[in-house]
Chains A and B, each alone.
Chain A
Amino acid sequence: MAPVSHFERLPCVGGEVVTITIDGEAHEVDSRWTVAAALIAHGHTRCRCTPEGQSRGPFCMSGVCFECRVDIDGTPNRQACMTPVAAGMRVVLRQDLRALA
């Protein structure tokens, strides 16, 4: 019997073009992308740092490894690979721990 995949294949191009900002810089991306896809497409493969100062970036692309956490619209530590882009979204990459305020 042929193996059955439980994954649904989503179209990843052909959506609208939307603009998001990454560290304040505007980028045009496909509305069907995740934030992690947008980061990689625009060369941001290092999006955060461990407490020991090592760089981390999107890795598993499936919500498991938590390495791609970024600030999205003011909320820190969101998983870029699990978050679809949206028009006007502000993504901030963080190399240090955020201070509570």
Chain B
Amino acid sequence: MRERHPDVVVVGGGLVGLAIAHGLLRQKLRVTVCDEGDRDFRASRGNFGLVWVQGKGVNSPPYARLTSHSARLWPDYARQLQRDSGIDPGHTRRGGLSLCLEIDELAEKSAAMAALKAHTPGFDYEVLDAAGVRRFLPGASPDIAGGIYSPQDGHVNPLQTLHALLAAFEALGGTYLPRCRVDDVSHRAGAFSLTTSGPTLQTARIVLAAGLGNARLAPLVGLYAPVLPVRGQVMITERVAPFLPYPTTSVRQTTEGTVQIGDSQERVGLDDGTLPEVLVNMARRAIALFPLLRSAQVVRTWGALRIMTPDGLPLYEESRSHPGAFVATCHSGVTLAAAHSELIAPWIAGNDAPTLLETFDGARFAL
């Protein structure tokens, strides 16, 4: 059977796995994606949808360059996805803002932006006071300290993006196996054999893109992926008339009118629940930024788990002991989806590792 002997098996059908898998099909490879189940922790179904450059890689020039590159690729990538899938991922790139209530916070952010600009070609930003912010976002409170605008920032509709990736993958002939958990991987004579809850699969190349599942899977092929969950809680309001023409890091409005609020960061293990006290704080802060939100009704909340490496940077590596086995994981899988499809896929297909990815191997986590 064709899907049991593909050229590449991608483990994990979230944003990371599907973006890579979509790229691999465009490299003319035969690809199967195994994806576990709906009860899993799946960041790709609970995220905030930003394609975000400002603030990424302030202390890591390679990460800043990779992020910036991916954000630049996104407009074309969004068109490609729409062509391949017929589904609009809802990408816009008109710039975005991060807002500060306190003046110290703004000073700190300004310094970080200066550092980022110094090592990131093509990155631009503006520091704004409250009046400056209100020229972009008239609904912002005149009492905030200000914010940072960067024209490189943008956002997508995250669920439409995931849907578009899956539809594009299937339209280009990929095999998607849902409810297919990879339990074990063995390696003999240059070939991998995957024991799954479904069929056993044979392949020469395997990509571990299982999000939090990578921590368990990586050692099976001589890799190390010590990822840990960081919870984020999200609040959704009723649809209201457009009042936020630009996304911000904690409040954004979708084209349908929904307002999404959320930026909590909690280390609570494998718990994707919500806590009223955290939600209340998020709501208070959102109202302090945009007083209009006081009358918006909240219709849904959820928690979802980010996938965090010890230093917060992505991890991309080919196994030395098991050549042909790769791991790919990151905490900003929306932002980096374009790079994953355009840079990582050709590398996995056999091209040289792109220089942009060089410093992201797991050797840095070795004791």
Question: Which A residues are closer than 8 A to B by beta carbons?
Answer: 51, 75-77, 96-101
Contact = CB atoms under 8 A, between A and B. Distances in A.
Contact of B241 (A75, A77, A96): A96
Given A76-B297, A77-B297, A98 B256 contact: no
Given A99-B240, A100-B241, A100-B243, A51 B256 contact: yes
Taking chain A's interface residues, is the majority helix, strand, or loop, or is none over half, making it mixed?
loop
Given A51-B257, A75-B297, A100-B139, 18 more contacts: A51-B256, A76-B238, A76-B297, A77-B238, A77-B299, A96-B241, A97-B239, A97-B240, A97-B242, A98-B241, A99-B240, A100-B240, A100-B243, A100-B292, A100-B295, A100-B296, A101-B292, A101-B295
A97 B295 contact: no
Contacts of B296: 100
Nearest to A74: B295
Contacts, number: 31
A53 B242 CA distance: 15
23 contacts: A51-B255, A51-B257, A76-B238, A76-B297, A77-B297, A96-B241, A97-B239, A97-B240, A97-B241, A97-B242, A97-B257, A98-B240, A98-B241, A99-B241, A99-B243, A100-B139, A100-B241, A100-B243, A100-B292, A100-B293, A100-B295, A100-B296, A101-B292
A51 B297 CA distance: 18
A76 B257 CA distance: 14
A40 to B, nearest CB: 23
B184 to A, nearest CB: 42
A24 B255 CA distance: 31
Contacts of A99: 240-241, 243
Nearest to B291: A100
Interface in B230-273: 238-243, 255-257
Interface string B288-304: 00001101110100000
Nearest to A100: B292
Nearest to A78: B297
A99 B93 CA distance: 24
A75 B238 CA distance: 12
Contacts of B242: 97
Contacts of B257: 51, 97
Contacts of A98: 240-241
Contacts of A96: 241
Contacts of A77: 238, 297, 299
Nearest to B292: A100
A40 B257 CA distance: 27
Nearest to B297: A77
Contacts of A101: 292, 295
A98 B243 CA distance: 11
Contacts of A76: 238, 297
A100 B295 CA distance: 7
Q: Which 10 A-B pairs have the closest CB atoms?
A: A100-B292, A99-B241, A97-B241, A51-B256, A97-B257, A77-B238, A100-B240, A97-B239, A97-B240, A100-B295
A100 to B, nearest CB: 4
Contacts of B255: 51
A93 to B, nearest CB: 16
Interface string B49-77: 00000000000000000000000000000
Contacts of B297: 75-77
A48 to B, nearest CB: 10
A76 B296 CA distance: 9
A43 to B, nearest CB: 26
Interface in B264-320: 292-293, 295-297, 299
A77 B238 CA distance: 8
Contacts of B295: 100-101
Nearest to A69: B238
B211 to A, nearest CB: 31
A101 B255 CA distance: 19
B308 to A, nearest CB: 34
A97 B256 CA distance: 9
A99 B238 CA distance: 11
